[in-house]
Amino acid sequence: MNDRMENLLLALPGLLLLVLAFFLPIGQMLVLSVTGPEGPLAPFVRFLSDPYYLGILWRTVRLSLLITLICGAIGFPLAYIMTKVGPRLRLWLVVMVILPLMTSVVVRTFGWMVLLSRSGLIPEMLRDMGLVGRNFALMQTETAIVIGMVQVLLPFMALSILGVLTRIDGRLEEAARTMGCSFLQTIRTVVLPLALPGIVAGSLLCFTLSASAFITPNLLGGTRIQVLAASIYKSVTATPDWPFAAAQAVILFAGIALVLVPYIKMTGARNG
Amino acid sequence: MANVRLTSIQKSFAKTAVLHSISLDIASGEFISLLGASGCGKTTLLRIVAGLESVTAGAVEIDGRDVTGLPPEKRDIAMMFQSYALLPHLSVAENVRFPLRMRGIGNREEQAERVKAALETVQLGHLSERKPRQLSGGQQQRVALARAIVSKPKVLLLDEPLSNLDARLREDMQVELIEIHQRLGLTTIFVTHDQEEALSLSDRIVLLNAGRVEQEGTPAQIYSQPATGFASNFIGSANLLPAEIFEGPDGPVARFADGQALALARTETARGAVTVALRQEDLSLSAEGNGPRAKVRTRVFLGARNRYVMSLAGQPLRALTANDLDFADGQEVSLAIDPARVRIIRD
Ligand SMILES: Nc1ncnc2c1ncn2[C@@H]1O[C@H](COP(=O)(O)OP(=O)(O)OP(=O)(O)O)[C@@H](O)[C@H]1O
Ligand SMILES: [Mg+2]
């Protein structure tokens, strides 16, 4: 028996598990979306011709982009600071960043609900400071979704960037300084380009996770502000319409894949 | 062009003192070498001049202006790093253009021309489109050199710029450095631990030892009048032998531990216990002679010359000789040296 066969044999149980647990459900979902009683493409047509559902799709994409952007804007400086401080402080910062991941999504989101509700700490404070009007509310707004999701996804962004930043030779920044770069110019011309792979990886994680997120948007956005994942859930539970739910899932899947392709191409070109 | 003045520079990392009160006055347009063993603080001193390292005490002045607290980008210097520090995401040409771009020197065409000229100076014009990781170590080093000279800064700081080059290329680059220095008259601080390079390139040599200035002077002064045992050992790697000087019938004589004596110049005034410094290249060996006798331990073939390692009065003694001399291991040979070339270092 040659090496290849042996390797294949060893990998077989894992491959089988992957097929059963991963490809089979996705395949089933694909099949489901085109085998509804109304005909193969009817659920897709219904989704794409209804402004309500198109609105949900657009909101999902828009919020995911915004969340990714904010995560990057906070995650990059945070990761940069982590590389510059001593090892002890860095450990504390890492712990602080990943702490939210150690609690259940539901518990964490209820925490936000307490903080953001009409009589919660944050709106009260803003009202007391006279920054907002009496009717100001945060719960059941897109802002609430963004705040909740950024907290969840920040560690993915910050840690992806941190991994790349720690491998950049600090003398490159020093060299740039001796060649006339100010601190910010050094960040722009040296650190950012070299950290790009980490920023891309972090953005991919943030975007895909927020596009498919369900619990946090559902609890913080309420029924009025729906995202795609919540809409899928509703199609399955409220009016059991499996083909329509499957069609929405396929659209979500395709949308994310569409965003991934150029990213992967870009990083591939960089490394090749 | 600018002068550089360092006043009582001290530097400590955590509690370890690395530089102890170094003062240096470098004239405008001077080519100065910092010479010293590994770990003596050469790079640290250079980084202080560049503004990359803060000082624990002391002041740095460039062109008559106190720059001690000024960040590197405000100092109009260029530094070549010992580790090159080429930007990996930029091509060779973009790397060399970087200081011009960031300092806003010239328009695009002028920049391209200067980049081309700098790359040709280091004989790398043909590789300008490569990325740094596609270059050999020596090629990377020359790109770093081109990047340091391209902006014609007031002060040029070079940290072992030729350490990674083969002998031939090294000589070429030394000639280029001398020519660039003559043409542009840049104040240059050159760090090396290669004494020959320091001797052949610089207007002045500053010999550092464990964070202190051991001696400074022109190459000729440093070579012919080393002030301390460290200096004479480091420059020309002289043999250092403990001896005692007393008055003989024909003038002063140095006597080694085993009782053998070496005649000294009549003008020598030192007496008592001293260290005698004998340069390897000044010693001549012969089978018959009436000088001190040493026992050959081994011979090292160096091509044009031979190095004999001998022992004299229990001390190792090295001599560089013509390669036609042939002594066997264990043979006793007689030493001869021009009394004027024997250096006496008072203890
Ligand atoms: N960041 C630092 N923290 C602590 N010690 C340091 C630091 N940088 C340098 N040192 C110490 O300071 C001393 C001088 O270092 P430096 O790099 O200036 O030596 P050098 O003369 O350039 O040596 P070489 O010829 O090997 O390059 C060394 O003993 C080194 O261990
Ligand atoms: Mg060094």
- Ligand located closest to B54 CA: 1
What DSSP character marks residue B153?
-
Rounded to whole angstroms, what are the CA distances from B22 to B43, B79, B323? 14, 20, 43
Q: What distance in Å separates the CA atoms of residue B34 and residue B28, rounded to the nearest whole number? A: 17
Report the nearest atom of ligand 1 relative to the CA of B208. Answer: 21
Asked whether residue A270 carries a pLDDT value surpassing 60, the answer given is no
Pairing of strands B261-263, B155-159: unpaired
* Least CB–CB distance from A180: residue in B52, B73, B83: B73
**Pure H helices in chain B:** 42-50, 92-103, 108-121, 137-149, 167-184, 195-201, 219-224, 229-234
Strand residue runs (E) in B170-224: 187-192, 204-209, 212-217
Q: What distance in Å separates the CA atoms of residue B230 and residue B174, rounded to the nearest whole number? A: 26
Average pLDDT, chain B: 90
* φ/ψ of residue B32, rounded to 5: -120, 140
Q: What distance in Å separates the CA atoms of residue A118 and residue A99, rounded to the nearest whole number? A: 27
Is the distance from CB of A179 to CB of B78 less than 8 angstroms? Answer: yes
Q: What distance in Å separates the CA atoms of residue B186 and residue A138, rounded to the nearest whole number? A: 64
For position B236, what pLDDT does the model report? 67
- Stretch (H or E) spanning A251: helix A242-271
Q: From the CA of B75, how many Å to the nearest CA of chain A?
A: 8
Rounded to whole angstroms, what are the CA distances from B241 to B173, B228, B259, B346? 37, 13, 13, 12
For position B140, what pLDDT does the model report? 94
Asked whether residue A4 carries a pLDDT value surpassing 60, the answer given is yes
Is A49 exposed, middle or buried (CB count within 10 Å of its CB: 0-12, 13-18, 19+)? exposed
Is A256 exposed, middle or buried (CB count within 10 Å of its CB: 0-12, 13-18, 19+)? middle
Q: What distance in Å separates the CA atoms of residue B242 and residue B275, rounded to the nearest whole number? A: 5
Asked whether residue B50 carries a pLDDT value surpassing 90, the answer given is yes
Residues of chain A in contact with residue B147, where contact means CB-CB under 8 angstroms, are 179
Report the nearest atom of ligand 1 relative to the CA of B14. Answer: 4
Report the nearest atom of ligand 1 relative to the CA of B46. Answer: 18
DSSP output for A114-182: HHHSTTSHHHHHHHHTTSS-TT---TTSHHHHHHHHHHHHHHHHHHHHHHHHTTS-HHHHHHHHHTT--
Is the distance from CB of B195 to CB of B222 less than 8 angstroms? Answer: no
Q: Is residue A208 part of a domain?
A: yes
Cα B163 from chain centre: 11
Contact B88 A194 (CB under 8 A): yes
Average pLDDT, chain A: 89
What is the dihedral sign for C-alpha A88, A90, A96, A102? Answer: negative
Contact A171 B50 (CB under 8 A): no
For position A272, what pLDDT does the model report? 40
Q: Is residue A64 part of a domain?
A: yes
pLDDT digits (tens, 9 = 90+) for B179-216: 889 888 899 999 998 888 888 889 999 999 999 999 99
For position A8, what pLDDT does the model report? 85
Q: Is residue A1 part of a domain?
A: no
- Stretch (H or E) spanning B44: helix B42-50
Q: Is residue A48 part of a domain?
A: yes
- Averaged pLDDT, A89-99: 91
Residue list, ligand 1 pocket, CB within 6 Å:
B 13, 18, 36, 38-44, 82, 193
pLDDT digits (tens, 9 = 90+) for B34-49: 998 899 999 999 999 9
Lowest mean pLDDT among A189-193, B49-53, B252-256, B299-303: B299-303
Amino acid identity of residue A107, one-letter, is V
Q: Is residue A21 part of a domain?
A: no
Its domain, for residue A43, covers 34-271
* φ/ψ of residue A118, rounded to 5: -50, -40
pLDDT digits (tens, 9 = 90+) for B247-264: 888 889 999 988 898 988
CATH code, domain with A238: 1.10.3720.10
What DSSP character marks residue A23?
I
- Ligand located closest to B208 CA: 1
Pairing of strands B155-159, B187-192: parallel
For position A269, what pLDDT does the model report? 60
Residue nearest to atom 5 of ligand 1 (CA): B13
Q: What distance in Å separates the CA atoms of residue B83 and residue A170, rounded to the nearest whole number? A: 11
Is the distance from CB of B72 to CB of B26 less than 8 angstroms? Answer: no
* φ/ψ of residue B124, rounded to 5: -130, 20
Q: Which of A167, A177, A179, A194 to mutate to test the interface with B (most CBs of B within 10 A)?
A: A179
List beta partners, residue B251: B248
Pairing of strands B204-209, B31-35: parallel
Ligand 1 pocket mutation pick from B10, B18, B56, B214 by most atoms within 8 angstroms of CB: B18
Q: What distance in Å separates the CA atoms of residue A154 and residue A72, rounded to the nearest whole number? A: 8
Asked whether residue A158 carries a pLDDT value surpassing 90, the answer given is yes
Ligand 2 ion: residues within 5 Å (CB): B 43, 82
Q: What distance in Å separates the CA atoms of residue B229 and residue B274, rounded to the nearest whole number? A: 10
pLDDT digits (tens, 9 = 90+) for A215-253: 999 999 888 888 999 999 988 898 888 889 999 999 998
Q: What distance in Å separates the CA atoms of residue B197 and residue B150, rounded to the nearest whole number? A: 22
Contact A180 B103 (CB under 8 A): yes
pLDDT digits (tens, 9 = 90+) for A58-90: 999 999 999 999 999 999 999 999 999 999 999
∠ CA B228-B230-B236, nearest 5°, is 100
Q: Is residue A91 part of a domain?
A: yes
Q: What distance in Å separates the CA atoms of residue B317 and residue B294, rounded to the nearest whole number? A: 8
- Averaged pLDDT, A143-156: 93
- Ligand located closest to B44 CA: 1
Who contacts A208 (Cβ-Cβ below 8 Å, separation ≥6)? Answer: A256, A259, A260
Instruction: Provide the token pair at B296.
Output: 């050959």
What percent of chain A has pLDDT above 90? Answer: 48
Instruction: Provide the token pair at B131.
Output: 């990325």
Lowest mean pLDDT among B113-117, B270-274, B295-299: B270-274
Q: Is residue A84 part of a domain?
A: yes
For position A1, what pLDDT does the model report? 57
List beta partners, residue B240: B277
Give B11 or B246, the one with higher predicted confidence.
Answer: B11
Count of domains observed in chain A: 1
Q: What distance in Å separates the CA atoms of residue B157 and residue B67, rounded to the nearest whole number? A: 16
- Averaged pLDDT, A43-59: 92
Instruction: Provide the token pair at B212.
Output: 């202190």
Instruction: Provide the token pair at B251.
Output: 């003038």
pTM: 0.82
List beta partners, residue B60: B6
Q: What distance in Å separates the CA atoms of residue B28 and residue B188, rounded to the nearest whole number? A: 9
For position A34, what pLDDT does the model report? 84
Q: How many CA atoms lie within 13 A of B131 on its CB side?
A: 9
Instruction: Provide the token pair at A120.
Output: 């919660």
DSSP output for B259-312: S-EEE--TT----EEEEEEE-GGG-EEESS-SS-EEEEEEEEE-SSEEEEEEEE
Nearest CA in chain B to A172: B85
Nearest to B43 by CA among B68, B18, B76: B18
What percent of chain B has pLDDT above 70? Answer: 99
Q: What distance in Å separates the CA atoms of residue B202 and residue B217, rounded to the nearest whole number? A: 10
Q: Is residue A17 part of a domain?
A: no
Residue reference for tokens 């040493």: B294
Give A64 or B281, the one with higher predicted confidence.
Answer: A64
Residues of chain A in contact with residue B50, where contact means CB-CB under 8 angstroms, are 178
Is the distance from CB of B195 to CB of B236 less than 8 angstroms? Answer: yes
